[in-house]
Structure 1
Amino acid sequence: MNAIVSIIVPCYNQAQYLDEALQSVLDQTYQNWECIVVNDGSPDNTENIVEKWLKRDTRFQYLFKENGGVSSARNFGISHAVGEFILPLDADDKIGSDYITLGIKVFKYDIALKVVYCRAEYFGEKSGPWNLQPYSLKELARLNMIFCSALYRKKDWELVRGYDTNMIYGIEDWEFWISILKDGGKVFCLDTVQFYYRTKQVSRQRQLDGETVKIMNEYMSIKHVDFFIKQLGSYMELNEVIDTNKKCSENLKSEKFVIDAFCTTFFGFSVFGLYKIKK
């Protein structure tokens, strides 16, 4: 199985780490890959860093877009990808040299697989194993145990219309895994460390405060209410999981989130998108 794997690297203010990420791509024992770096309107020297990699290996590509967040950047990169398989990689993280080789080998022997990931370790400010909960669909309703850098087929990305760009405050990976897995499909975790997650003083996840996490959780609970109820059994248990014990008078601070989630799920368009087009 020699399928093309498209590695998508969105970059916003991460130029200082980009060399390490791209070196980990170049070190892959699997050779049939392309790597698309998406400059998400970054004000730093991302373009200068990427230029030397373009000269070093023709499998690297560079795209620029106006800043729109990580979901938008990943979607933009994947829309230009030619690979049958997709592997997202944040610009400040790294992958092990055998990750793609091992992942594609697993896909070869099980056509029911939708996602392949691996064991992971921290590096940077904090080091050591990242002890994630074993995958099950029910546990996925409670928390996300699959980091962004997992292998999946591009056709599954197409079926769910990509990463949800309404997830502007984070946890977009969790929402994406729910989207492609809730109606079936297997997940496999490689029993080897092939992903390295950089920890630093300021990260996108650390910048998420309680209120923004609540907004994203509530948005997900509306969009995937069928999934959460099926897996958790009741609204009460769902509310406990996403910490919505308070009255929903604020309800995402705007009814726009509720309306948009409903329209996207049942009618296939985004109110936010239509509003932007009209403007």
Structure 2
Amino acid sequence: MFEYALYLSLKAKGKEVKIDDVTCYEGPGTRPRQLDVFGITYDRASREELTEMTDASMDALSRVRRKLTGRRTKAYRERDINFDPLVMEKDPALLEGCFQSDKYFRDCEGRVREAYRFRGIESGAFPLPEDYLRLEKQIEDCQSVSVHIRRGDYLDESHGGLYTGICTEAYYKEAFARMERLVPGALFFLFSNDPEWTREHFESKNCVLVEGSTEDTGYMDLYLMSRCRHNIIANSSFSWWGAWLNENPEKKVIAPAKWLNGRECRDIYTERMIRL
């Protein structure tokens, strides 16, 4: 979603832009693309274009030239996790990175919001199950607060401990208490990839555990998050977008003060976020 928002921003500046939606979505364990739920389209980069941009042709002449003079790649990797202005200036370039900041698309925010309407749900092409329809009605009729609790891959030490120890039970308890002071009568809707753990640690009389989505239907949770009046997010782009798509002008959004261990991530935060 961050990549497509950048795509729209660059297009708005008059640039010719294409998206590589193949390279990072091949092989086992990759997440499915789910942008279809928004009913959006984009220009796709062909394998031939990617080969040309990375100077990766395997013909004999190209291989010899690379040995003699080095690779002439046009790839440019985002400098770090924060907003990199060079991303907006490089041309031609194969841009690589996460682009996780609204600074990349603030100048076309309206266009991004229009693109990220859940047209598939509205049209019935991606119908919500009955349980989710009932939850949507409940969310609309109360002081609803989405709470994203991400576990699963975030507990995996193979990431070098980037995500561990940030969104702890203490963080959520403080976030609950802060939100209850800001939003009297708050009802918390819990979204997690570990519902059993979440039920054990957080479910109470003012909490509703949302269950039923899978890796292939994560858009259902994203949709309900965006329908809540307020949001408590994890250090995750999934709940970041759930909060950003929330159109309540009075929304309160609570986020962890640290996003990644060992890295300063100042530009992931929006002006509306309360950092704990």
Max Rg structure:
2
More strand as a share of residues = 1
Q: TM-score, normalised by structure 2?
A: 0.25
Q: TM-score, normalised by structure 1?
A: 0.25
